[in-house]
Protein backbone atom coordinates (compact mmCIF):
# COMPACT_ATOMS: atom_id res chain seq x y z
CA UNK A 1 0.00 0.00 0.00
CA UNK A 2 1.12 3.56 -0.65
CA UNK A 3 3.02 5.39 2.10
CA UNK A 4 3.27 2.45 4.45
CA UNK A 5 6.08 0.47 5.93
CA UNK A 6 6.22 -3.29 6.23
CA UNK A 7 3.00 -3.69 4.21
CA UNK A 8 0.77 -2.02 6.82
CA UNK A 9 -2.10 0.25 5.86
CA UNK A 10 -2.49 3.73 7.34
CA UNK A 11 -5.20 3.85 10.03
CA UNK A 12 -7.74 5.69 7.84
CA UNK A 13 -7.24 3.24 5.00
CA UNK A 14 -7.47 0.27 7.37
CA UNK A 15 -10.68 1.65 8.87
CA UNK A 16 -12.23 2.01 5.38
CA UNK A 17 -11.14 -1.52 4.45
CA UNK A 18 -12.57 -3.01 7.66
CA UNK A 19 -15.82 -1.11 7.11
CA UNK A 20 -16.01 -2.53 3.56
CA UNK A 21 -15.37 -6.07 4.86
CA UNK A 22 -18.09 -5.62 7.49
CA UNK A 23 -20.56 -4.64 4.79
CA UNK A 24 -19.53 -7.65 2.67
CA UNK A 25 -20.07 -9.99 5.61
CA UNK A 26 -23.75 -9.03 5.71
CA UNK A 27 -24.19 -9.00 1.93
CA UNK A 28 -24.22 -5.23 1.39
CA UNK A 29 -21.90 -5.10 -1.63
CA UNK A 30 -22.87 -1.58 -2.75
CA UNK A 31 -22.16 -0.14 0.70
CA UNK A 32 -18.81 -1.95 0.71
CA UNK A 33 -17.93 -0.33 -2.63
CA UNK A 34 -18.94 3.11 -1.33
CA UNK A 35 -16.76 2.63 1.77
CA UNK A 36 -13.61 2.36 -0.37
CA UNK A 37 -14.62 4.48 -3.37
CA UNK A 38 -12.33 7.35 -2.30
CA UNK A 39 -9.24 5.12 -2.48
CA UNK A 40 -8.48 3.59 -5.92
CA UNK A 41 -6.09 1.06 -4.40
CA UNK A 42 -8.69 -0.25 -1.94
CA UNK A 43 -11.40 -0.14 -4.62
CA UNK A 44 -9.25 -2.38 -6.86
CA UNK A 45 -8.53 -4.72 -3.95
CA UNK A 46 -12.25 -4.95 -3.13
CA UNK A 47 -13.11 -5.59 -6.79
CA UNK A 48 -10.61 -8.48 -6.88
CA UNK A 49 -12.06 -9.87 -3.64
CA UNK A 50 -15.61 -9.68 -5.06
CA UNK A 51 -14.58 -11.48 -8.26
CA UNK A 52 -12.87 -14.23 -6.24
CA UNK A 53 -15.86 -14.46 -3.94
CA UNK A 54 -18.24 -14.90 -6.90
CA UNK A 55 -15.94 -17.54 -8.40
CA UNK A 56 -15.82 -19.38 -5.04
CA UNK A 57 -19.62 -19.17 -4.76
CA UNK A 58 -20.08 -20.55 -8.29
CA UNK A 59 -17.72 -23.42 -7.51
CA UNK A 60 -19.55 -24.22 -4.24
CA UNK A 61 -22.94 -24.11 -5.99
CA UNK A 62 -21.62 -26.39 -8.74
CA UNK A 63 -20.41 -28.92 -6.17
CA UNK A 64 -23.72 -28.78 -4.33
CA UNK A 65 -25.76 -29.21 -7.51
CA UNK A 66 -23.80 -32.29 -8.50
CA UNK A 67 -24.19 -33.76 -5.00
CA UNK A 68 -27.92 -32.98 -4.72
CA UNK A 69 -30.05 -36.16 -4.55
CA UNK A 70 -32.39 -35.32 -7.47
CA UNK A 71 -32.11 -32.96 -10.46
CA UNK A 72 -35.18 -30.93 -9.46
CA UNK A 73 -33.56 -30.21 -6.06
CA UNK A 74 -30.70 -28.58 -7.97
CA UNK A 75 -33.09 -25.75 -8.85
CA UNK A 76 -32.82 -24.65 -5.23
CA UNK A 77 -29.03 -24.53 -5.50
CA UNK A 78 -29.26 -21.53 -7.80
CA UNK A 79 -31.25 -19.74 -5.11
CA UNK A 80 -28.80 -20.62 -2.31
CA UNK A 81 -28.37 -17.71 0.08
CA UNK A 82 -31.02 -15.63 -1.66
CA UNK A 83 -34.34 -14.43 -0.25
CA UNK A 84 -37.34 -15.25 -2.44
CA UNK A 85 -41.11 -15.57 -2.13
CA UNK A 86 -42.04 -19.29 -1.96
CA UNK A 87 -45.46 -20.91 -2.23
CA UNK A 88 -46.09 -24.53 -1.26
CA UNK A 89 -48.62 -26.95 0.17
CA UNK A 90 -48.20 -27.82 3.86
CA UNK A 91 -47.73 -31.56 4.39
CA UNK A 92 -46.71 -31.73 8.04
CA UNK A 93 -46.31 -29.09 10.71
CA UNK A 94 -44.29 -29.98 13.77
CA UNK A 95 -44.43 -26.83 15.88
CA UNK A 96 -42.85 -28.46 18.92
CA UNK A 97 -39.50 -29.96 19.81
CA UNK A 98 -35.91 -28.84 19.70
CA UNK A 99 -36.01 -27.50 16.14
CA UNK A 100 -39.60 -27.26 14.89
CA UNK A 101 -39.97 -27.82 11.14
CA UNK A 102 -42.64 -27.67 8.49
CA UNK A 103 -42.64 -29.75 5.29
CA UNK A 104 -43.83 -28.04 2.10
CA UNK A 105 -44.70 -29.90 -1.12
CA UNK A 106 -44.58 -28.67 -4.76
CA UNK A 107 -42.75 -25.50 -3.82
CA UNK A 108 -42.79 -22.72 -6.41
CA UNK A 109 -41.01 -19.42 -6.98
CA UNK A 110 -42.56 -16.98 -9.46
CA UNK A 111 -45.14 -19.63 -10.42
CA UNK A 112 -42.46 -22.21 -11.34
CA UNK A 113 -42.03 -25.34 -9.21
CA UNK A 114 -38.43 -25.46 -7.99
CA UNK A 115 -38.65 -28.58 -5.85
CA UNK A 116 -41.04 -31.39 -5.01
CA UNK A 117 -40.54 -30.80 -1.26
CA UNK A 118 -38.51 -28.77 1.18
CA UNK A 119 -38.22 -28.40 4.95
CA UNK A 120 -38.63 -25.00 6.58
CA UNK A 121 -37.52 -24.00 10.05
CA UNK A 122 -40.47 -22.73 12.09
CA UNK A 123 -40.20 -19.24 13.56
CA UNK A 124 -42.65 -16.87 15.29
CA UNK A 125 -44.14 -15.63 12.01
CA UNK A 126 -44.98 -19.18 10.93
CA UNK A 127 -46.47 -19.96 14.34
CA UNK A 128 -48.67 -16.82 14.10
CA UNK A 129 -49.94 -17.91 10.66
CA UNK A 130 -50.87 -21.29 12.24
CA UNK A 131 -50.54 -23.39 9.06
CA UNK A 132 -52.40 -26.69 8.92
CA UNK A 133 -51.85 -29.71 6.65
CA UNK A 134 -53.18 -29.09 3.11
CA UNK A 135 -52.93 -25.27 3.48
CA UNK A 136 -51.30 -23.31 0.67
CA UNK A 137 -48.56 -21.30 2.41
CA UNK A 138 -46.70 -18.26 1.08
CA UNK A 139 -43.55 -16.94 2.74
CA UNK A 140 -40.38 -15.07 1.93
CA UNK A 141 -37.38 -17.25 2.88
CA UNK A 142 -33.67 -17.80 2.36
CA UNK A 143 -32.44 -21.06 0.80
CA UNK A 144 -29.88 -22.78 3.02
CA UNK A 145 -27.73 -25.88 2.50
CA UNK A 146 -27.14 -28.65 4.99
CA UNK A 147 -25.18 -31.93 5.08
CA UNK A 148 -27.27 -35.06 4.77
CA UNK A 149 -26.26 -38.70 5.08
CA UNK A 150 -23.01 -40.41 6.00
CA UNK A 151 -20.13 -42.09 4.24
CA UNK A 152 -20.84 -42.69 0.55
CA UNK A 153 -24.42 -41.44 0.99
CA UNK A 154 -23.17 -38.00 2.12
CA UNK A 155 -24.49 -35.05 0.08
CA UNK A 156 -25.84 -31.54 0.40
CA UNK A 157 -29.56 -30.90 0.56
CA UNK A 158 -31.65 -27.76 0.78
CA UNK A 159 -33.94 -26.19 3.34
CA UNK A 160 -35.66 -22.85 3.78
CA UNK A 161 -34.96 -20.54 6.71
CA UNK A 162 -35.79 -17.13 8.16
CA UNK A 163 -39.41 -16.97 6.98
CA UNK A 164 -40.94 -13.51 6.71
CA UNK A 165 -44.24 -12.20 5.30
CA UNK A 166 -45.89 -15.55 6.07
CA UNK A 167 -49.52 -16.04 5.14
CA UNK A 168 -51.92 -18.87 4.42
CA UNK A 169 -53.15 -18.36 0.84
CA UNK A 170 -55.66 -21.17 0.78
CA UNK A 171 -57.15 -23.28 3.53
CA UNK A 172 -59.30 -26.25 2.47
CA UNK A 173 -62.82 -26.31 3.91
CA UNK A 174 -63.49 -28.62 6.77
pLDDT of residue 4: 46
pLDDT of residue 109: 92
Per-residue pLDDT of the chain (174 residues; tens, 9 = 90+): 444 444 677 888 888 888 888 777 766 777 888 888 888 888 888 888 877 776 666 555 555 544 544 445 667 777 888 899 999 999 987 755 678 889 999 999 988 888 888 888 889 999 899 999 999 999 999 988 777 777 666 667 788 889 999 999 988 886
By the 8 A CB rule, do 40 and 28 touch?
no
Locate the domains of the chain by residue range: 11-66, 69-170
pLDDT of residue 128: 92
> In whole angstroms, what is the distance from residue 13 CA to residue 34 CA?
13
pTM, 2 dp:
0.57
Q: What angle do CA 64, 153, 77 make, to 5 degrees?
A: 15
Q: What's the CATH number of domain 69-170, 3.30.70.1710, 2.40.50.140, 3.30.428.10, 3.40.630.30? A: 2.40.50.140
Per residue in 99-124, is it b (16+ CB within 10 Å) or e — as a string?
A: eebbbbeebbbeeeebbeebbbbbbe
pLDDT of residue 16: 84
By the 8 A CB rule, do 31 and 16 touch?
no
Helices (H), the chain: 11-25, 29-36, 40-67, 74-77, 124-129
Amino acid sequence: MNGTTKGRMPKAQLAAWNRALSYLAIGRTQDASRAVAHDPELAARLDAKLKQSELDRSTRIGRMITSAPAPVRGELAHLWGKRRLFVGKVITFNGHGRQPMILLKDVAVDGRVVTDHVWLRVNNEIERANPQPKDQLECECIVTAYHKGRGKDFHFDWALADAKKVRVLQRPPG
